[in-house]
Chains A and B, each alone.
Chain A
């Protein structure tokens, strides 16, 4: 299957702690995006990391990409209750983004 795998499936942490989510694929990762989704609504784009990049930061978010291991991780530092959501990685195949393969998501709960 081309579908990505994410772990953990669910994560519960205290406000102020860091949260790490991992994503891996059996096929090669070319360009990977991370999204957040609140309560079954639309997805919000967080970060795009291209295949020639190894690490990217955006505010409290840090994404790493290891193309040799076909994996990526998302770190949220100093988590807040508002970070409670589902987080998805999405792999864009090759230079064409005709087909985007999402992982099953990690459900994050941040307890105030």
Chain B
């Protein structure tokens, strides 16, 4: 167990709907990253939040947005869902130190199915 939790575990939506996924970071971690993992593939970086600001973004359209709260928990919002958004969504937290890469600790993921 990493101490990173995600909710919900599973979610089924229909095309065009909107979804919000939640992540609680491990205690003491101020950075949260979100990834999308399609079946049989490696995780794809969506974006990262550090102290409530977006701190880097992958090749995902603006309908993927996020928030980080003062307690460092985070939300991933996806608008206008498409069938290809069906995937496992992973969040990872890490304790960002000055200029040094730190280990990311992953949550168990949210399985999103878009019908």
- Give the B-binding residues of A (Cβ under 8 A): 3-4, 30-31, 33, 35, 40-45, 48, 50, 88, 90, 92, 95-105
**Are A43 and B41 in contact (CB-based, < 8 A)?**
no
Chain B interface residue count, Cβ-Cβ cutoff 8 angstroms: 32
Residue of A nearest to B56 (CB): A98
Partner of A99, one of B43, B45, B100: B45
* CB contact under 8 A between A102 and B44, given known A48-B101, A97-B101: yes
Given contact pairs A33-B104, A48-B101, A98-B55, A43 touches B43 in the complex (Cβ within 8 A): yes
In the assembled complex, the Cα of A102 lies from the Cα of B36 at a distance in Å of 11
Flag if B58 contacts A31 (CB, 8 Å): no
Q: For residue B45, which residues in chain A have a CB less than 8 angstroms away from its CB?
A: 99-102
Q: Write the B1-43 contact mask toward A (1 if CB under 8 angstroms, else 0).
A: 0101000000000000000000000000000010101010111
